[in-house]
Amino acid sequence: MSSKESSDAPDEELLYQSKRVKVTPSWLIIKNTSYAVRYMQKLTYLESKPPRIAAGIIFVLFLLLTLWQVLRIREQPDSNTLGWILLALCLVVLVISSFVAFAMSASYTVVVVLASEAAPLTINPPTKTEAKKLHEALSQAMDFYQSNPETPSVLQDTVGESA
């Protein structure tokens, strides 16, 4: 069994600890659920950054279009509603592109695939350094099981069950 409900970690050294996640050489503990590290099959670190350069280019272009549209409306005060609609659309794109270019932050994800879980576990640390620390701790825990011959692995468990 790879997971169990638990509020306490076994007495082992902590490789990583945050508010919600703890990692020891044998256990990955998320909130109150513990997962055995020996059942981990794959560990992935993902970093998703917003497209700042493209958003910055769009921001500059629509800033120019907005200024041009304002000048057109000022030259023709009795203009039709199309000018106002285009100005409103320029402002909407300007606000969205400025948010993406200047305010949106990157997101960091550590994905853990367990042998006995149907869906992979996704952990979203708040910062890049926390994500790197978590990934490193999980890598160390996985290496512990690969280098320790006394510890049964997932393959030994499945071979023992089929015999």
**Neighbouring residues of 11: CB distance < 8 A, sequence distance ≥ 6:** none
Distance CA 117, CA 99 (A): 38
pLDDT at residue 7 tops 90: no
Rounded to an integer, the average pLDDT of 146-160 is 54
Indicate whether this model's pTM tops 0.85. no
* Residues written for the chain: 163
pLDDT, tens digit, 9 for 90 and up, residues 66-94:
999 999 888 887 767 888 899 999 999 99
pLDDT, tens digit, 9 for 90 and up, residues 22-32:
998 888 999 98
- Evaluated on CA atoms 121, 127, 128, 130, the torsion sign reads negative
Distance CA 35, CA 55 (A): 41
Closest of 49, 58, 35, 56 to residue 112, by C-alpha: 35
Distance CA 123, CA 45 (A): 10
